[in-house]
Structure formats: structure tokens, C-alpha cells
Amino acid sequence: MRHRYARQLQNVHDDLLRIGSRVEHGLADAMRALTTADAELATNVVAGDREIDRTHVAIDEQIFELIATQQPVASDLRTLLATSAIASELERAGDYAKGIAKRVTVLLNQTPIVPIPATIGRMGELSHQMLTQSLDAFVKRDIAVARGLADIDAQVDDLEDEANAQIRDMIKHDVATLESGLILLEITYMLERLADRTTNIGERVIFMINNTTEALNQ
Amino acid sequence: MTMRSAMTLSRSIGFADLVGTRTRTRSATDSVNAKIEVRNFSFFYGNFKAINTVSMDIPANHVTAIIGPSGCGKSTLLRAINRMHDATIGAHAEGEMRFDGVNVYDPAVDSVLLRRRVGMVFQRPNPFQLTIFDNVAYGLRVNGMRDKKLIAQKVEESLKRAALWDEVKDRLFKSLGTALSGGQQQRLCIARAIASDPEVILMDEPCSALDPIASLKIEDLIDDLRDQFTIVIVTHNMQQAARVSDMTAFMLMNRATRAGELIEFDQTDKMFTAPSDQRTEDYISGQFG
């Protein structure tokens, strides 16, 4: 048994879960800031993204070193390649959470104050659920859990269409809500993209487990 | 099989040289591209079974690596291919080791003639206390070649194929083979092995006594030779197996019987990215061995 190697693999695994957890919190906080009009919370999410970026860089450095010095093969190699890709997906997901938080701070300075459509809140819940589920699939090495992301992603896509229709109606009824409406459209776009990132994670998990490529986001 | 194709195969492998006029048999299920077909092959040292019922097809003009922990029987299997165990008292085989369809353990097969077709390179370079030229020419002369011009041609050609010519061409008759560096000695042994135009080259840990640079030269040489020869290499160095081979066989000793068994045999890229057997995965990942 290669103890140092095993410890290094475990460190990479733990760091990925750490970055995943930060992104989960970032998204949850960004959505809470949106629905509760909490500017301070939104600012905290923006600040927290730097730590996600740092951890992402650290993960890639560790994987680079492991490949160079330990010559991992087979499932270890697939796991490391998948981990590197998943870390990048999480970093991008973190950027979307930060983007949502930034727009919340802008939205809160707009007048009139517009109601947040419930469909956006629901999109946020499902995107968060997908993020958690993709990380569960990674930890449990469970292909069924990874594949389950496809159905939820389809729901998120439908909700985005619904939310965007509602926002357009709002703008049509009161043109003064144009600026706020455009910000909300950006938020729905980012939630939809974030959900797509989690399906990418699911695809990497499937590759990691059985060395095959599957598309979860048709 | 038609008489014509049988005759063609006989010529191509020098079958008549091996077993005289004996008729060869080949089943319809034989793999067309297999140079060596190992079929339910077991090998014994007296009562001790060292290898248990191994079956695999070693493809022609490819490099096949045999890997596994110490004591798994990989060297025994390699040496069994050209009957290197013949002189070991009590050593015997069961099953078949077919070389181009001929079971080399058929009593009619002449092991000396077999080894002319199946060359061997050992773990430690073992040049003779002869000049560089005579080291390579030795096998040719033993095999009856008398034409000096032809011998000189073959020596030059073999040294070139072994990527050693440029380093030794100015001292062919001055330096002893034993005066060369370790890596050069091993390439000299490879030149000696290929001088008699074998079809198969067996390599038993050919780089284990060499430094990394000399090892990489041997690996490059193996790569150059793969089109002309069927190469079977036993190595402890898994990364070397991954680098040089097309096919990889993983062997493991059965804890209960102590006999070596073939666990998995597949294309090398598959073996090192997604092996089918967990034991292969554990071994190549350094979980044991």
C-alpha cells in the first residue's frame, strides 16, 4: 500500500468536497439574499467566491503533482481527471452564484421594488438540489444518482421558460420595471447555466466510475 | 486447412525444420493473428505447480508484456515458450504452448531449432568474452553459417537493428563485448538474439539491471523492433509495460495453491485505464505487490 499516495488522493478528494460545500452555501445564500432583499448577505457571497477560486487552483496543483510524481493509473487516474474537471465546473458554478449575488445588490437599488417570481425561487431550489446530488454521486460513486440529474435539469429548463414569460409580462405591464426585469432575466439564465454545470459534473462522475461518456444534458 | 496454406505456414515458420515431416494440426477456432497460443497451459517443477491453466493468444508483430508480483509465474511462463526449462530436473508442462500452431512441447519438436526461432534476452546482459563482432557472429557460426562476407553483413545489420552500430562500428574487433556499458551490453545481446532471424524475442526483465537512460534506449529499441518481431517481455516496471507494450497480461499467485494464474489479458491501454478485474486494478495502482 502506498501510504503517501493514498493520503494525497484523499486530500484532493477532501478539497473537492470543500469547494463543493462552499459553492452550495454560496448559491443558497445568493438565493436567500434575492428573496429576502439582504444586500449584506449578497456582498458576503461575492467575497466568498475568492476562496472557491483559490481552492480550485490548489486542487489542480495537487492533481498536477500527483500525475507527475505518482503516475496514477486506471480508476485513480480517472478519478483525478474527473476531479480536476469537476473542480472547474464547481468554480464556474461558484461564479454563477457570485453573479446572482452581484445582481441582487444592483436589483435592491432599483425602483420600483419588484416582486421576485416564485418560479425563480423554485429554480434556485432545484439548482441547489442538483448541486448537492452531483456531489453525492461523486462521493457515493453512484451512477444512478448522477443520471437522475437529467430529469431535474429538464424541470429547471421548463421553469426558466415559465419565469422568463412572467418577467416579460411584468415589463409589458409596467415599463418602469424594465431594468429590474432585465436583471431577473440574467438571474434565471445563470441559474439555468448553473444547473447545466451540475449535469456536467454528473457526466464526469459516470466517466470516473465506468470509463464511459454519457450526455446528461441533451 | 488446405494443403497449400499448410505448406505456406510451414515454410514461414520453418515448421519442417522443427519437426521434420510431421503433419501439423490447427483447429478452426485458432486465432489467425496469434503467433503463440497458450492453451490450458500448466507448468510444474516436480510436484509443485508453478503455473495453473493459463490460456492466452500472443499476437504476431506486437509487444506483449507480462506483469505481476514476484512469484506469480511470469518468468516461468516466458521461459516455457522456448522450453528453457528442459534442463531442469522434474520440470514438465501440461496443456499446449503453440508456436504458429505447433505445440512446442510435442516430443517431435527439437528445442534447439525452436530456440533459433524464439530468441531470448535475459535480465542481466550476458555477452561472451569475445569481441563485439564475435558476440553477434557466434550464433550465426553455431548455426552453420560459413560465408565470412555474409556473416559480416549480418553482424552489421543486427547491430544496426539493435541501435548499437554507430557506437561500436570503430571497435568491432578491438573491444570485448564485456567492455561495453550495461545498456550497450544489453543491446549487444539483443543484436545477438536477432542475428539468427528469430520470429519471437522473449525478454526477461531486460532493463532491470540498467539505469533509466539505458532503459529508455532499450524501450525505444523494442518499439523499433515490434514490426519485425513478436516480442514478449516480462517486467516488474509497470510503467515500462504501459509504455512499450500493445497487450498486457497480469498474473497473480493463487494464495491457496501457490500456483501462478492469469488474471487478465487485454490491450495495454485498457489494462491501465479501465481493467476489468479488481485485482489488476489493485496491483497496477500499487495497492499490493
What's residue A165's pLDDT?
97
Average pLDDT of the segment spanning B237-262: 95
Residue among B239, B281, B288 minimizing CB distance to A74: B281
Looking at the complex, report in whole angstroms how far the Cα of residue B272 sits from the nearest Cα belonging to chain A.
Answer: 5
Contacts of B239 in chain A (CB under 8 A): 71
- Is B68 within a domain? yes
Cα B234 to Cα A59, B79, B277: the distances in Å are: 37, 10, 20
Contacts of A73 in chain B (CB under 8 A): 238, 242, 272-273, 284-285
Residue A189 contacts B, CB cutoff 8 Å = no
- Is A104 within a domain? yes
- Is A216 within a domain? no
- Measured from the Cβ of residue B166, the count of other Cβ atoms closer than 10 Å reads 9
Q: CA A67, CA B115: separation in Å to the nearest integer?
A: 41
Average pLDDT of the segment spanning B236-262: 95
Which residue range is the domain that position A13 belongs to?
3-210
What's residue B28's pLDDT?
35
**CA B127 distance to own-chain centroid:** 18
Q: Which three cell numbers stand for residue B70?
A: 514476484
**Residue B204 near residue B234, CB atoms below 8 Å:** yes
Q: CA A24, CA A184: separation in Å to the nearest integer?
A: 21
Q: Distance between the two ends of chain A, CA-based, in angstroms? A: 42
Residue among B239, B280, B285 minimizing CB distance to A76: B285
Max CA distance (Å), chain A: 68
Number of domains into which chain B is organized: 1
Contacts of B288 in chain A (CB under 8 A): 1
Question: pLDDT-derived band of residue B1, with 50, 70 and 90 as boundaries?
Answer: very low
What's residue B32's pLDDT?
45
pLDDT exceeds 50 at position B12: no
- Is B289 within a domain? no
Q: CB under 8 Å to B140, separation ≥6 — which residues?
A: B151, B154, B155, B195, B196
Residue A74 DSSP class: H
- Is A150 within a domain? yes
Q: Which three cell numbers stand for residue A73?
A: 493509473
- Cβ density class A145-171: b for 16+ within 10 Å, e for less: bbbbbbebbeebeebbebbbebbeebb
Burial of A215 (0-12, 13-18, 19+ CB in 10 A): exposed
- Is A51 within a domain? yes
What's residue B66's pLDDT?
98
| pLDDT digit string, tens, across residues A89-122 | 999 999 999 999 999 999 999 988 899 999 999 9
pLDDT exceeds 70 at position B29: no
Residue B278 contacts A, CB cutoff 8 Å = no
Q: Check residues A217 and A37 and name the one with the higher pLDDT.
A: A37
Number of domains into which chain A is organized: 1
- What single-letter amino acid sits at B100? D
Residue among A5, A77, A78 minimizing CB distance to B286: A5
Q: CB under 8 Å to B49, separation ≥6 — which residues?
A: B42, B43, B257, B258, B259
Contacts of A77 in chain B (CB under 8 A): 273
What is the arrangement of strands in the sheet containing B63-67, beginning at the earlier edge strand? B102-103, B91-99, B34-45, B48-59, B260-267, B247-253, B63-67, B230-234, B200-204, B118-121
Average pLDDT of the segment spanning A164-188: 97
- Is B130 within a domain? yes
Contact B281 A78 (CB under 8 A): no
Average pLDDT of the segment spanning B225-240: 94
pLDDT exceeds 90 at position B88: yes
What is the CATH classification number for the domain harbouring A157?
1.20.58.220
- Is A215 within a domain? no
- Is B152 within a domain? yes
Cα B196 to Cα A155, B90, B204, B231: the distances in Å are: 71, 30, 19, 15
What is the CATH classification number for the domain harbouring B253?
3.40.50.300
Which residue range is the domain that position B189 belongs to?
30-284
Cα B55 to Cα B94, B98, B263: the distances in Å are: 12, 11, 10
The complex's ipTM works out to 0.76
Nearest-Cα residue of chain A relative to residue B277:
A74
Residue A144 contacts B, CB cutoff 8 Å = no
Average pLDDT of the segment spanning A7-13: 94
- Percent of chain B scoring above 70 in pLDDT: 89
Question: pLDDT-derived band of residue B21, with 50, 70 and 90 as boundaries?
Answer: very low
Helix axes A178-210, A149-173, angle to 10 degrees: 170
- Is B9 within a domain? no
Question: pLDDT-derived band of residue B265, with 50, 70 and 90 as boundaries?
Answer: very high
- Is A140 within a domain? yes
**CA B55 distance to own-chain centroid:** 17
Residue A135, SS3 per DSSP: helix
Q: Which three cell numbers stand for residue A177?
A: 420595471
**Residue B71 near residue B77, CB atoms below 8 Å:** no
**Residue A2 near residue B286, CB atoms below 8 Å:** yes
Q: CB under 8 Å to B18, separation ≥6 — which residues?
A: B102, B109, B110, B113, B114, B117
Residue B250 contacts A, CB cutoff 8 Å = no
Q: Which three cell numbers stand for residue B12?
A: 514461414
Average pLDDT of the segment spanning A161-184: 97
Q: CA B140, CA B144: separation in Å to the nearest integer?
A: 7
| pLDDT digit string, tens, across residues A181-214 | 999 999 999 999 999 999 999 999 999 999 999 9
Residue B276 contacts A, CB cutoff 8 Å = no
Cα A40 to Cα A33, A47, A180, B34: the distances in Å are: 8, 11, 19, 72
Q: Across all residues in chain B, what is the average pLDDT?
A: 88
Question: pLDDT-derived band of residue B33, with 50, 70 and 90 as boundaries?
Answer: confident
Which single residue is written with the C-alpha cell 421576485?
A: A116
